[in-house]
Structure 1
Amino acid sequence: MIAFCGLSCTECPAFVATQKDDDEERKKVAELWSKEFKCDIKPEDINCDGCLEESGRLFNYCKVCEIRKCGQEKEVKNCAYCDDYACEKLTKFFDMAPEAKTALAEIKKIFRKEGFFSCDSE
């Protein structure tokens, strides 16, 4: 599952801990992210079914993520399908997560080859 931003939800530690229902893993992720992001994250905050889910559990950041909000408003599968790809929000995010840029670029390339993006040339 590729999130709007290009991250792989299935590789996200919060998603993995949630799907395994593993409280020890939640604790480890909370400790790691608390240090990494310099904020207080509790193990019970580590619950996420992926940002593409409308009614599933979401990590707190995902609830306020501008990229997710934009993708939902535009009703796209992820940002690779957006006419405004790659916008300023994404470009800033790619500085922090270059793997997301790679994932979305691959999706865009596949659809170009198959002719789904008729306005793109290549």
Structure 2
Amino acid sequence: TRMLVIKKKPNRKVTMCGYVCDLCKAFAPNIKRKDERECLSALWRKYYDLDIPAENIYCEGCRSTKQDARLLDSNCPVRACVPQNQVDNCSECSKFPCEVFQERKGLSYDEAREEQGDLFNAEEYEEYMLAYDNKSRLDRRRDSMAN
């Protein structure tokens, strides 16, 4: 007899700009499970030229309703824009992709590979950077809404 394995789909907590919290190593529940902030800090430097020390990497998610929520990007322009436009995320906005979105656009796999050249590591990207490929993710959402 062959055994059927059913994999539980992860709860994809999509941010306002299209990042995915459950894939993000900066998301508080992920840090509690396995702290990978040192590596994330180095990879943000490599892929985005961001210099954020590991001890400052901690985020409860832009959708947190806690009064004192710790946000990695407390000045995120998308976080202000999305509610103003009365949408759930950028994919639902008629102006997408706009200048505000571009300020927080992450790298797709192909963009990262092209930018990094010989330094590109597919496993590293999938494990640490996929959470931030928001343009591809939001394009897929728009396509599924249109069909």
User: What interval of TM-score do these two structures reach, taking the shorter chain for normalisation?
Assistant: 0.5 to 0.7
SS of the aligned residue for 1:6 comes to coil
Say if 2:107 is the partner of 1:97. Answer: yes
Change (3 A) 1:108 1:23: closer
Q: Distance in 1 between matches of 2:104 and 2:35?
A: 29
Gaps of 5+ in 2: 1-12, 109-132
The yes-or-no answer on 1:58 pairing with 2:71 is: yes
Residue in structure 2 matched with residue 107 of structure 1 by the alignment: 141
Offset of 1:67 from its aligned partner?
A: 1.5
Question: Structure 1 vs Structure 2: percent identity of aligned residues?
Answer: 25
- With normalisation by structure 1, the TM-score equals 0.68
| Superposition RMSD in Å | 2.5
Aligned length: 106
- Which residue matches 1:68? 79
- Offset of 1:29 from its aligned partner? 3.4
Amino acid at match of 1:19: P
- Cα distance in 2 for partners of 1:24, 1:103 equals 25
- Contact kept, 8 Å, 2:41 with 2:51, in 1: the verdict is no
Task: Give the drift of 1:41.
Answer: 2.2
Alignment of 1:14-53 (within 5 A): 14-15=26-27, 18-20=28-30, 21=32, 24-30=35-41, 32-33=43-44, 35-36=45-46, 37-43=49-55, 45-53=56-64
Superposition deviation, residue 66 in structure 1: 0.8
Separation (CA, whole Å) in 2 of partners of 1:38 and 1:112:
35
Taking structure 2 as the reference length, what is the TM-score of the superposition? 0.58
